[in-house]
Amino acid sequence: MRAEPGPQPMISRTRPGEKRGVHAVAIWLHRNLFSSWSSTALTLMGCVLVYWLVTGIFDWAIWRAIFYGADGSACRVEGAGACWPFVTAKFQLFMYGRYPTEELWRVNVTYALALAGLVPLMLPGVPGKLWLAIYMLVIFPIAAFLLLTGSSWLGLPVVSTELWGGLLVTLVVSCVSIAVSFPLAILLALARRSDLPLIRWSAIVFIEFVRGVPLVMVLFFASVMLPLFLPADITFDKLLRALIGIALFSAAYLAEVVRGGLQAIPRGQFEAADALGLSYTQKMGLVILPQALKFVIPGIVNSFIALFKDTSLVLVIGLFDLLGIVQQSVAADANWFSPQTAATGYVFAGFVFWIFCFGMSRYSVWLEGRLGTGPRR
Amino acid sequence: MSNLTSRDGAKARKLLDHLYNPKSRGIFFQLVMLAAILWLGYEVVLNVAHNLEAQGIASGFGFLDRTAGFDISQTLIPYSNTMSYGRVFWVGLANTLLVAGLGIVLATIIGFIVGAARLSRNWLIAKLATLYIEVLRNLPPLLMLFVVYFGVLKNLPSPKASLELPFSIYLNARGLYMPMAHREPGFGVVIAAALIGIAAFVALWQWARHRHRLTGHPTPLLLPGLVLVFGLPLVAFVLAGMPLSFDLPVQGRFNLTGGIVVQPELAALLTGLSLYTAAFIAENVRSGIQGVPAGQREAAAALGLKPRQILWLVVLPQAMRIIVPPLTNQYLNLTKNSSLAIAIGYPDLVSVFAGTVLNQTNQAVEVILITMSVYLVLSLLTSLAMNIVNVRMSLVER
């Protein structure tokens, strides 16, 4: 699924000879809103819908909303709208889970380190991409791991992953999974296009198997079956199991994206690389993959968006990401019980998810235009 | 002496040849891969056997015959808690198929409408469709389920204060209560009439196609079709003395009794999934229609076809070829996403079988294997069906 850039071209682009001002507005209105009886009817229906949406949202979120209050009693008023104090009171929980308050700076430093690497990496034209990539792929993961879990050696108290939650878990799960699944996906995609039947078929079976089952089942598999597969003395925590499950899951999907890129490379490139006497590794690493990956950057971003939304499923194996922790607070906190608590919580969670996903999809569209890899018209 | 060295050299070269020969390298890599897979499989089987023994779990599928002992809130096939775990599997599978089937129909309808709206020449409608797509596509489907289920349906009035809709339909927090039709003796005539009507319509349609091919004259099919498919059974129904009785929901002391109930879980799952998937289908539809070259439209217009004919005879048949493959993916996604049922307690396959049955029996390996195979088979069947559709459609091409 690829997000297409921009709206439809408007039919009423003013041409040089055309009249301007009020008349142009009238022409535009006539062409785009009132061109026929049916169109006029649709426009009126649309107006009613817009009016209903806008007033409904305004009424609920601002006009009738409760903004202050120490607990749910403030929101248990007849006819009250959104219960915003619920969000402000639970904000830390939603963002960090039960991560100890005095250690929160560690999470924030991790975010800052990530942004410091990601922003220049994502902007085309910033020099030193190689060093930035090395920073993001080698230095940052080690630093983030030490900061978030803690280490007695550095004097940072250990914070068990049981305490992690909220947006922190959403971001950790999605970022780690994409980082782990990406190299795996490249290997799978290359294997799937290999000439060696056994290797090709292993890749096909793995990819189709994983793509054929729901993520919920993959998570069950990771949480119930994985411990059975390993020797009894090896145990690891729930978060890691979820990470393995989601990483394998997204690797299969990403592999198909990368394969799309590989298939888009003309045969001549493979043959030219062979003719130059390059080995398989050189051919793929120096000629094919750089072109193929550039071609599928939007697809990769879209996979990341899907992965980001899918992290909310870790709820089924008892981890609490942003949505999970909102749902838990809504359902289990009697202090905040009120008719609008649930709606308020969901609107907040939805807003956060939406900002992230919409931001990424816009980035992908922008990048598509920049790289000139989008569909040509 | 020199002879010997040259022979040694030839031997070494032969060895090197083998080393650099892509064929022998390939065989070597595959052997390594095979060894790795075999070793991994061996280790896994060994560990599983060891771990199961340590936990005292007997493996095998015998548990499927044991009594389940729990109730399920929605069953399409007869079920009671004295039946076996095997029966639970079928109940769960039927519920999954119900949600997937209804969801696919709903999502397709909404998706095609929104996709067409996005291409509408009416600016406001196009913008509203874009808003719908951009909002829903960027939210997790699980959130949609929560919003519909906990935010809307659970906030409906209690059974005592049910909303009363026309035709004896009641709506409350426990579900949507509707009248249920019961067949009386003599209803077979109506079914027979319906079958005859459909068969006659198909025959008429084939004849019309044949005539159109031979003479180029179109035959109006809409009215005869309606008469045959709906009119004939209706006439039979009236003639047979209306052999149907209705079981109406009745307001009891605590709850409504009678009629047929759509559980809020099912309603929430259907609404959430189809609204979410529709956003993606709308995008597929839009890119499919835009993918038809403008020249096709212009050529059709130049031939004097009316706008409706251009859409139905020229644009859509070609657009469908672009739409079908991603549409298949969306159908599969919807089917797989129906496993989110577990989060709101709809008794689908994952929730009753991989959830409750697994917890009660601890037969993790068997239960997960069975459930995963069901989804694999479903997705293989869907891809197969869609491949057939795809092949039939692309055959039209030169």
pLDDT in tens, B210-222: 888 888 787 777 8
Q: Which residue of A has its CA nearest to B26?
A: A196
CA A321/CA A167 separation, integer angstroms: 6
Q: Which residue of A has its CA nearest to B336?
A: A214
Distance from CA of A68 to the nearest CA of B (A): 22
CB contact under 8 A, A1 and B147: no
Distances (CA, A) of B396 to A23, B288, B390: 48, 17, 10
Distance from CA of B195 to the nearest CA of A (A): 37
Question: Which of A4, A8, A307 to mutate to test binding with chain B, by most B CBs within 10 Å of its CB?
Answer: A8
The answer for B 209-268 residues in CB contact with A (under 8 A) is: none
**What is the CATH T-level fold of the domain A84-99+159-371, as seen in this structure?**
MetI-like fold (1.10.3720)
| Mean pLDDT, chain A cut into blocks of 10 residues (377 residues total) | 46 53 83 83 91 92 85 81 88 89 87 88 80 86 86 81 88 90 92 88 90 91 85 80 91 92 89 90 90 85 90 88 90 83 90 93 84 54
Q: What share of chain B is helix, strand, coil (3-state, %, to 5)?
A: 75, 5, 20
**Residue A17: exposure state from Cβ atoms within 10 A (0-12, 13-18, ≥19):** exposed
Low-confidence ranges of chain B (pLDDT < 50): 1, 397-398
Q: Which residue of A has its CA nearest to B148?
A: A343
> Would you mind telling me the total number of residues written for chain B in this entry?
398
Q: What is the DSSP string of B4-71?
A: HHHHHHHHHHHHHHHHH-HHHHHHHHHHHHHHHHHHHHHHHHHHHHHHHHHHT---SSGGGGSB----
- Domain boundaries defined on chain B: 2-55, 96-154+264-394
B201, B225 Cβ separation under 8 angstroms: yes
CA A150/CA A198 separation, integer angstroms: 43
Backbone angles phi, psi at B274, to 5 degrees: -75, -35
Largest CA distance in chain B: 113
- Average pLDDT of the residues of chain A: 85
Q: What is the pLDDT of residues B324-340, one digit of tens each?
A: 888 888 998 999 999 99
CB contact under 8 A, A46 and B30: no
Confidence at residue A4, expressed as pLDDT on a 0 to 100 scale: 45
Confidence at residue A364, expressed as pLDDT on a 0 to 100 scale: 85
Q: Note the ipTM here.
A: 0.85
User: Which residues in B lie closer than 8 A to residue A330 (C-beta atoms)?
Assistant: 150
CA A343/CA B146 separation, integer angstroms: 9
> Would you mind telling me the total number of residues written for chain A in this entry?
377
- Inform me whether the C-beta atom of residue B359 falls under 8 Å from chain A C-beta atoms: no
Confidence at residue B279, expressed as pLDDT on a 0 to 100 scale: 94
CB contact under 8 A, B147 and A213: no
Of B126, B343, B364, the CB nearest to A315: B343
User: Which residues in B lie closer than 8 A to residue A327 (C-beta atoms)?
Assistant: 146, 150
CA A352/CA A87 separation, integer angstroms: 12
CB contact under 8 A, A195 and B26: yes
Yes or no: domain B96-154+264-394 corresponds to CATH 3.40.50.620? no
Q: Which residue of B has its CA nearest to A197?
A: B30
Contacts of A302 (CB under 8 A, 6+ apart): A1, A2, A3, A257, A361, A364
Q: Which residue of A has its CA nearest to B369?
A: A221
CA A278/CA A270 separation, integer angstroms: 10
Point out which residues pair with B164 in neighbouring strands: B170
3-class secondary structure per residue, B250-305? EECCCCEECCEEECHHHHHHHHHHHHHHHHHHHHHHHHHHHCCCHHHHHHHHHCCC
Task: Give the position of tokens 């931001």.
Answer: A359
- Inform me whether the C-beta atom of residue B365 falls under 8 Å from chain A C-beta atoms: yes
- Inform me whether the C-beta atom of residue B120 falls under 8 Å from chain A C-beta atoms: yes
- Domain boundaries defined on chain A: 22-63, 84-99+159-371
- Inform me whether the C-beta atom of residue B127 falls under 8 Å from chain A C-beta atoms: yes
CA B60/CA B55 separation, integer angstroms: 15
User: Which residues in B lie closer than 8 A to residue A197 (C-beta atoms)?
Assistant: 30
User: Which residues in A lie closer than 8 A to residue B346 (C-beta atoms)?
Assistant: none
User: Which residues in B lie closer than 8 A to residue A224 (C-beta atoms)?
Assistant: 358, 364, 368
Of B125, B284, B342, the CB nearest to A216: B342
Distance from CA of B44 to the nearest CA of A (A): 5
CA A163/CA A97 separation, integer angstroms: 6
- Inform me whether the C-beta atom of residue B54 falls under 8 Å from chain A C-beta atoms: yes
CA A203/CA A192 separation, integer angstroms: 5
CB contact under 8 A, A214 and B337: yes
- Rounded (5°) CA angle A219-A222-A227: 150
Distance from CA of B237 to the nearest CA of A (A): 38
Confidence at residue A376, expressed as pLDDT on a 0 to 100 scale: 47
B169, B177 Cβ separation under 8 angstroms: yes
